[in-house]
Structure 1
Amino acid sequence: MRTMLFKAQHRMWWVPMLAGLVLLGACSSGVEKPKPVPLGPSPQGLAIKRSWSLAFGEVQFPLRTVSVGSDIALATSQGLVAVVDARTGQEIWRASVGSSVEAGVGFDGNYVAVVGQGGALQVFKAGRQVWRADLGTSVATPPLVAGNRVFVLGTDRTVAAWDAATGALLWQQARPGDPLVLKQPGLLAALGDTLIVGQGAKLLGMNPLSGTVRWEQSVASSRGTNEVEKLMDIPSGMARSGQQVCVRAYQHAVACVDSAKPSLVWSKPSNGFSGLAGDADSVFGVDGQGVVTAYRRNSGDIQWSSNTLRYRQLTGPVVVGRSVVVGDSEGNVHLLAKTDGTPLARLKTDGSAIAAVPVLVGQTLVVITQRGGVFGFVPE
């Protein structure tokens, strides 16, 4: 067993619920929270059928579904981890973490990384645990496995890297931060040979070999009057096109950065809590009330906004073909037209909340619910 302690920092943690700060405030003040907009008849703009499903286990932690080729990595709150063939729903292998799971999953086609109870980073290959490291801190962001390395972002904003095969600690970097931070998945992603990390309102480009900062760019400025309103962080989920990276600054803005210069391309006010998705022309986001908005990638101008799913506690979006896909708290998956937000299709699962942003694997849209249902949908 390998042991590594992140630098301890005393912080307050603000834990956002799916509905966001607006609904939390309404509940705490005794005001009835807004009711979801009625859905109406199921739209018939796309023909999609369920190809397979499996019961895997409850998901009550920040799950990121990651696919490589036709394979997808999964984990459950109870500590199961598995790799599944997304074409058929068949398990390739499964293993036990030995405790509950706090954050996951990282996957590169060979190694699967999760963070277990008490901050235990565990790495598996072909159904066997190959190493673990005790982090000594809380982790909400799923690990990233890339370039034969495993990267972890702690809630204290420390970033560290390990050798994926041996578990050798390669580097760790701690940066000063705000006294109040989010305990929800932050941004930790790969962009070419650069590690992209969200640190407060700053987007960082780091050297994955050494942990040194190559560049940093602020994406928003605080407009709050108290610690909660001033709180800024960058949640998981970026919309990349070439060297342009678009992200959300929690409850403050949506912004795009040219990572090649680097420079801020644009930043627009937006009170939201989840990450973004996009294509070469547009960037899509969901605000705290469930309004889905499309922005022009080159300018940030709004192309369209849809209120049809308001107050439905939506996941972040994913772009699938000609549609933008989001899940809701009642187990529905909604497909909206990229061009104007028109509802195209609605998919049903098991009635429990969608636990992670749906992911497209080949021709299969994979959806995971909090109850532990895993569903594969394909075009008819």
Structure 2
Amino acid sequence: MRSPLLIAAGAALAVLAGCASTPEPEYAPRELTDIATTTELDTLWSERVGKGLGDAGYPVAPAQDGDTLFAADARGLVEALDADTGETRWEVELDTPVSSGLTAVAERLFLATRNGEVLALDQADGSIQWRARVTSEVLAAPQASRDLLVVQAVDGRVTALERDSGAERWVYSGPRPSLSLRGTGTPTVIDPVTFAGFANGRLVTLDNRSGEPLWDRRIAVPRGQSEIDRLVDLAGQPVLTQDGRLFVTSYNGRLAALDARSGEMLWARELSSYLTPILVGNFLFVIDEASHVIAVDAGTGNELWRNEALEGRSLTAPAFATDHLVVGDAEGYLHLLDAREGELVGRTRIDGSGLSVPPLTDRRRVYALADDGTLDALELRP
């Protein structure tokens, strides 16, 4: 089982790459069994993106803007592809390896590199529009508001850059324990504020004008004797609704709903997850640390259904396409679950190298990037 753990030297504010702490797997990968297939996944096209995500498993997730897909490998190759045909529109070789997921918005493509740089590329041709230095390596995809690009680095610091120029606006220094999950949470950004989760189990709302905290709430409390038992990272991205609710996961902690304006806790339930949930209607879908797929009522937190058939298979965060949840696993399978009932209804294998970044979905279409760089476009067909 791929472990998300990485030892971090807090005093030096640096991540010791390659010093992964791998505890004994608690959940053995469950063997796949035959399912009653009601939905097929038809491959539309398949392309290879560079050398893939690399042995370190950098979360270089692709992005989509309109009819263009953007993907990169861990060595610094960035490509733009036609979403309908897979045809390469352009590719560029950066001078440093890519470490973060990609964000495509407003004619720009944003990404970060292992040496702590953030880059803005022109979506039309891949030319670099600006580059800026932040405090350390970045694994979380940069997040854009109308004016800012907010970046959360592995040392716990959150940096706001001017979206058009890369000029630094402010830096917020979050706490970092001596041991944390590999990487950091991904902030959620809207024009007035940024919601950022940290490795100490706290969620902070930052004023985008100054970087000053507006409220700070503890989501998870460290428990246990060992450092691993006491991990409480908020490693997923907070999910914000239009009516002002925030849904947050934590490792060794809780799934919680909060009022985004005040930070008041609306409900919480014990659940350990380091992946970002998704909200569809009143269904909140979560993958826990055991790779159980769980649906809860977003209003109350009550469990609606749970599927344990993929236990221990190191699932990706879920995506949603036409009444189906879509998840990938460490053996390279893409699974479909009926979103209302939780039953497995479809499956296909992308590549044996595994799937570690979440699939992209666009109505009936799914884009899945395997760890070796295989990028497949598939269509759901009842």
> Could you state the TM-score of these two structures normalised by the residue count of structure 1?
0.87
Unaligned stretches of 5+ residues in structure 2: 1-9
In structure 2, what is the Cα distance between the partners aligned to 1:164 and 1:12? 26
Partner in structure 2 of residue 172 of structure 1: 171
Partner in structure 2 of residue 72 of structure 1: 69
Which secondary structure state, in structure 2, belongs to the residue aligned with residue 298 of structure 1? coil
Q: CA deviation at 1:226?
A: 3.2
**Mapping 1:15-164, distance limit 5 Å:** 24-26=22-24, 35-57=28-50, 58-59=52-53, 60-125=57-122, 126=124, 127-164=126-163
Q: CA deviation at 1:346?
A: 0.7
Letter in 2 for 1:251: N
Check if 1:230 corresponds to 2:223: no
What's the CA shift string for 1:221-260, capped at 9, x where partnerless? 2223333222222113344432212121122221111213
Partner in structure 2 of residue 284 of structure 1: 285
In structure 1, what is the Cα distance between the partners aligned to 2:186 and 2:83? 25
Q: Residues 272 and 166 from structure 1, CA distance in 2 versus in 1: closer, same or farther, beyond 3 angstroms? A: closer
In structure 1, what is the Cα distance between the partners aligned to 2:121 and 2:255? 36
User: Contact 1:155/1:182 (CA < 8 Å) preserved in 2?
Assistant: no
Larger displacement relative to structure 2 (99-108 or 368-377): 99-108
User: Contact 1:56/1:373 (CA < 8 Å) preserved in 2?
Assistant: yes
Q: Residues 92 and 362 from structure 1, CA distance in 2 versus in 1: closer, same or farther, beyond 3 angstroms? A: farther
Q: Residues 37 and 227 from structure 1, CA distance in 2 versus in 1: closer, same or farther, beyond 3 angstroms? A: closer
Letter in 2 for 1:228: I
Partner in structure 2 of residue 293 of structure 1: 294
Q: Residues 232 and 257 from structure 1, CA distance in 2 versus in 1: closer, same or farther, beyond 3 angstroms? A: same
Q: CA deviation at 1:77?
A: 0.8
Q: Residues 16 and 236 from structure 1, CA distance in 2 versus in 1: closer, same or farther, beyond 3 angstroms? A: farther
Larger displacement relative to structure 2 (51-60 or 130-139): 130-139
Larger displacement relative to structure 2 (285-294 or 192-201): 192-201
Percent identity over paired residues: 22
User: Contact 2:15/2:155 (CA < 8 Å) preserved in 1?
Assistant: no
Which secondary structure state, in structure 2, belongs to the residue aligned with residue 209 of structure 1? coil
Larger displacement relative to structure 2 (180-189 or 288-297): 180-189
Q: Residues 373 and 203 from structure 1, CA distance in 2 versus in 1: closer, same or farther, beyond 3 angstroms? A: same
What's the CA shift string for 1:115-155, capped at 9, x where partnerless? 22322222211310122223342222222233243221111
In structure 1, what is the Cα distance between the partners aligned to 2:165 and 2:191? 23
Letter in 1 for 2:24: A
User: Contact 1:63/1:355 (CA < 8 Å) preserved in 2?
Assistant: no
Q: CA deviation at 1:315?
A: 0.7
Larger displacement relative to structure 2 (138-147 or 295-304): 138-147
In structure 2, what is the Cα distance between the partners aligned to 1:193 and 1:346? 41
Unaligned stretches of 5+ residues in structure 1: 1-7, 28-32
User: Contact 1:97/1:122 (CA < 8 Å) preserved in 2?
Assistant: no
Partner in structure 2 of residue 181 of structure 1: 180
Partner in structure 1 of residue 4 of structure 2: none
Partner in structure 2 of residue 331 of structure 1: 332
Q: Residues 65 and 245 from structure 1, CA distance in 2 versus in 1: closer, same or farther, beyond 3 angstroms? A: farther
Q: CA deviation at 1:83?
A: 2.8
User: Contact 1:69/1:361 (CA < 8 Å) preserved in 2?
Assistant: no
What value does the CA root-mean-square deviation take over the aligned residues?
2.6
Check if 1:258 corresponds to 2:269: no
Q: CA deviation at 1:34?
A: 5.1
What's the CA shift string for 1:45-85, capped at 9, x where partnerless? 11331111111121131123333333332211110122333
Letter in 2 for 1:263: E
User: Contact 1:332/1:349 (CA < 8 Å) preserved in 2?
Assistant: yes
Partner in structure 2 of residue 3 of structure 1: none
User: Contact 1:16/1:182 (CA < 8 Å) preserved in 2?
Assistant: no
In structure 2, what is the Cα distance between the partners aligned to 1:109 and 1:94? 19
In structure 2, what is the Cα distance between the partners aligned to 1:301 and 1:16? 40
Q: CA deviation at 1:367?
A: 0.7
User: Contact 2:249/2:272 (CA < 8 Å) preserved in 1?
Assistant: no
Which secondary structure state, in structure 2, belongs to the residue aligned with residue 156 of structure 1? coil
Q: Residues 16 and 235 from structure 1, CA distance in 2 versus in 1: closer, same or farther, beyond 3 angstroms? A: farther
In structure 2, what is the Cα distance between the partners aligned to 1:15 and 1:26? 20
Aligned residue pairs total 364
> Could you state the TM-score of these two structures normalised by the residue count of structure 2?
0.87
User: Contact 1:14/1:181 (CA < 8 Å) preserved in 2?
Assistant: no
